Chain A
Amino acid sequence: MSVVPPSLLERRLIIVTGKGGVGKTSIACAVADAARRKGKRVLLVETAPVEAAAARFELKPIPVGYAGRTLRPGLHVMGMDPHQALAEYARLQIGLGLITDRVLKTQAFRELLDAAPGWRELITLGKIWQVEQSTERGGRPAYDLIVVDAPATGHGITFLDVPRVVQQAVRTGPLMRHASWVEELIHDRERTVMLPVTLAEELPVSETIELVARARTEIDLEIDRIVVNRMPEAPPTGLSASLARLPKDLAFKVLPEPTVLAEFAGDAIARATHALHERSRVSTECGLPIVDVPVVPGGFGPEIDWSTQADLVLEPPSWPNAGNIGEDAA
């Protein structure tokens, strides 16, 4: 179990997914920013209706919108808008101009779209496929790497399965053909990888185990590592024992009084030990190595330099040693 997977930088498409609240968007930004600092031309695609990536880079973020914006040299961010993508698709791929515009504007068509399932996912993936294919003059790809901040876990799987479902429902015509192209990209184990993000906590880990199993059996996706976000640093051995020996009457200048300090630090040690267990659980159950991203004090925000933490995402993943955790002398 010591296989080191290829670097994330060798992929074309990285689909970042995970349970809500685990820091999926932050990790997507971290991957994208670390890659562009390595000289890659990166596109970051946001799929959530609320834009969140620009707020990691700018104090007063202006919306990036569907056309997107270059946030840093080599890093372009776009906000997926299924309606705009659909209009673009109908115009470019089907080759209809004015007629399309007229149709798309009808009340009846909007009603249909509001209720019809699946098309948002399909058109989102279709747009990603189109960007992946697009080249500059001379045949060089427009982007070296596309990072997708995918919908939260449950929806994330449904999202990636839509091209297959559509091909079964629509057996002929351009839609079927296009869905098959998209599906081919998703299943391409060389180009595309899913990057699950979790926290070293019970529920996110359980959900990640389920996500990885479903992604493998239902969608047949390449997954080669798991990102454990906000991984607490392992407490130094013997810390609990040392804390227990603190004289009660010690007066600190900045730190809280010894009893309070010992209890507070004790809770933090308990959390860190629990985190180590959960991290090794997710690795063992999924049979995948782990990339740790520590807590960024203050968070992945514009006023914080989080490039050190971001670079860690590109480091080769490691296999946590299940036998060597929770060794604190507590």
Chain B
Amino acid sequence: MSHSSAGFSLPEALESAGVIVCAGTGGVGKTTLAASLALRAACLGRRTLVLTIDPARRLADALGIETLSDEPAEIDLQAINKGLRSTGGSLSAMMLDPKPTFDRLVDRLTDNKESRQRILDNRFYQHLSEALAGSAEYAAMEQVNEVVESEDYDLVVVDTPPASHALDFLAAPRRLRAFLEGRFVGTLLKPTMSAGRFGFRVFGRPLHLMLGLIERIGGSGFLDDLSEFLSAVSGIADGFLDRALRVEKILLGESTRFILIGGARSGTEPGTLEFLDELKTLDAKLAAIVLNRVSPWPLSESAEAWLARADGQGMLDDKRRLAEIFGAVDADKSRDQAEAISRILRESAIARSDANQSRSLLAARAASSGIECHLIDEHPVGIDRLPSLFSLTEPLFKETSA
């Protein structure tokens, strides 16, 4: 059974957490897992919302929704066996817009047209807002803030944007906050700046040098524009900081649990381990680690043990038997077919043993915090119905032998 400290296990999280965040590197099936967990919570009787990034067509079909929008859509749970469903629960889905423009944020935070226009017209804003990659992820997280504060749901399950930099969506508000509160902005916003670069003289020498260097690289007029941009932005800085803090407070709060999802292929551990370290550093509350889309394995015998005897005479005999039987139908192709069967088994066994190895590695790293590491098998052709979406996360709720 779980060795987790109270309230930190996955079943407990599903029953009592306010927010569950599915985090991990890209391409590991976070979206589908998030939907599956949300469905389970709904079946436990909780009013649940899943905030997803762009779901696969099959997943949208499984949820019975053509297109998700940024308005919550209630999912019809009729397809789920009544025995599994308790009353009172509901599931809604809503799409996080992974590319919200910064314009929208400026819109929300400015109270008058003039200051809004001043920001939008600045050439720095125009050319650099599209490059604010981490901030776009942050802006998506702002949507989390809104639904959590609405109190319309008992549980919000959050699928996170694909981040090449581990926890961009958490790091972005911190970075921007540090910047806006920092010395650089303070310096550029001092009234003396309006006197142009002659004003530099009033600063300490390193700052003076820095501004000189920036001007030298960036060309004349660079600092004037930058300064104007910053003073325009500083007007909305308070609102921005306030929201950033609220998002951070929710995500790192007592009623939020993280689930770290990793890929099952060899070579993906470094990214997942980095996530694990960062979650620890941030003091985020982790409920489980999941290696998703593991190559299925049909035998109770371990893939490793099977591989150890798969190269011997036994396999040659088996292949010959297969070819004989297949040959009754089509003699020419029977050998190819027998070979293909043996290859399928072999490759699955190797992939499975890789996944087992990754699990040991991650489990060892997480052992001190009592976090379990689970495997979920790859679905043959993807999830396309609610019942298969439900059973996808079954392995996370079985008692493990560890």
Question: B-contacting residues of A (Cβ < 8 Å)?
Answer: 19-23, 25-26, 48-50, 52, 55-56, 90, 94, 96, 99-100, 102-103, 106-109, 111-112, 114-115, 117-118, 121, 151-155, 158, 161-162, 165-166, 168-176, 202-204, 233, 235-239, 241-243, 245-247, 250, 252-256, 260-261, 263-265, 267-268, 270-271, 274, 295, 297-301
Contacts and interface: CB of A to CB of B under 8 A. Distances in A.
Interface string B141-166: 00000000000000000000010111
Contacts of A174: 216-217, 219
Given A22-B27, A111-B182, A170-B218, A55 B267 contact: yes
Contacts of B133: 117, 154-155, 158
A21 B179 contact: no
Contact of B270 (A50, A118, A170, A245): A50
Interface in B254-276: 263, 265-268, 270-271, 274
Nearest to A239: B337
A102 B28 CA distance: 43
Given A233-B340, A242-B326, A20 B184 contact: no
A296 to B, nearest CB: 9
Contact of A151 (B164, B325, B329, B340): B164
Contact of A261 (B268, B317, B341): B341
B344 A154 contact: no
A111 B318 CA distance: 66
A250 B321 contact: yes
A150 to B, nearest CB: 10
Contact of B26 (A19, A26, A268): A19
Contact of B209 (A94, A102, A235): A102
B318 A301 contact: no
Contact of B340 (A55, A235, A252): A235
Interface residue SS majority, chain B: helix
Contact of B162 (A20, A118, A165): A20
B190 interface: no
Interface in B298-353: 298-299, 306, 309-310, 312-315, 317-318, 321-322, 325-326, 328-330, 333-334, 336-337, 340-348, 350-351
A306 B347 CA distance: 15
A253 B318 contact: yes
Given A20-B27, A21-B268, A114-B179, A239 B219 contact: no
A41 B176 CA distance: 42
Contacts of B296: 264, 267
Interface stretch (B36-44, B124-132, B387-395): B124-132
B273 to A, nearest CB: 9
A85 to B, nearest CB: 14
A236 B266 CA distance: 28
| Most chain B C-beta atoms within 10 Å of own C-beta, residue among A21, A49, A103, A270 | A21
A256 B298 contact: yes
Interface in B336-377: 336-337, 340-348, 350-351, 354
B56 interface: yes
Given A108-B187, A112-B179, 6 more contacts: A49-B166, A108-B182, A173-B218, A254-B315, A271-B380, A299-B354
A298 B306 contact: no
A190 B351 CA distance: 39
Contact of A109 (B135, B210, B221, B330): B210
B3 interface: no
A238 B57 CA distance: 30
Contacts of B57: 202
B267 A26 contact: yes
Contacts of B213: 90, 94, 96, 99-100, 103
Please tell me the size bucket of the interface on B: 35 or more
Q: Which 5 A-B pairs have the closest CB atoms?
A: A21-B27, A20-B26, A173-B219, A115-B179, A172-B219
A296 B125 CA distance: 46
A47 to B, nearest CB: 9
28 contacts: A20-B25, A25-B267, A50-B271, A56-B267, A94-B216, A111-B185, A112-B182, A112-B184, A115-B176, A118-B131, A165-B131, A169-B123, A170-B218, A172-B219, A175-B218, A202-B57, A202-B382, A237-B333, A242-B330, A245-B325, A250-B321, A253-B315, A254-B309, A255-B315, A256-B345, A264-B344, A298-B354, A300-B267
A111 B179 contact: yes
Contact of B310 (A175, A254, A265): A254
B178 interface: yes
A263 B381 CA distance: 14
| Most chain B C-beta atoms within 10 Å of own C-beta, residue among A103, A115, A263, A300 | A115
Interface in B162-212: 162, 164-166, 175-176, 178-180, 182-185, 187, 206-207, 209-210
B130 A158 contact: yes
A170 B222 contact: yes
Given A21-B27, A115-B175, A260-B298, A299 B265 contact: yes
B58 interface: yes
B220 interface: yes
B344 A265 contact: yes
Contact of B330 (A56, A94, A238): A238
Nearest to B127: A169
Contacts of B130: 158, 161, 165
Nearest to A176: B219
A96 B212 CA distance: 12
A214 B348 CA distance: 36
A152 B164 contact: yes
B131 A121 contact: yes
B127 A242 contact: no
A202 to B, nearest CB: 5
Contact of A102 (B206, B221, B309, B322): B206
B346 A202 contact: no
A271 B295 CA distance: 12
Given A99-B209, A106-B207, A165 B340 contact: no
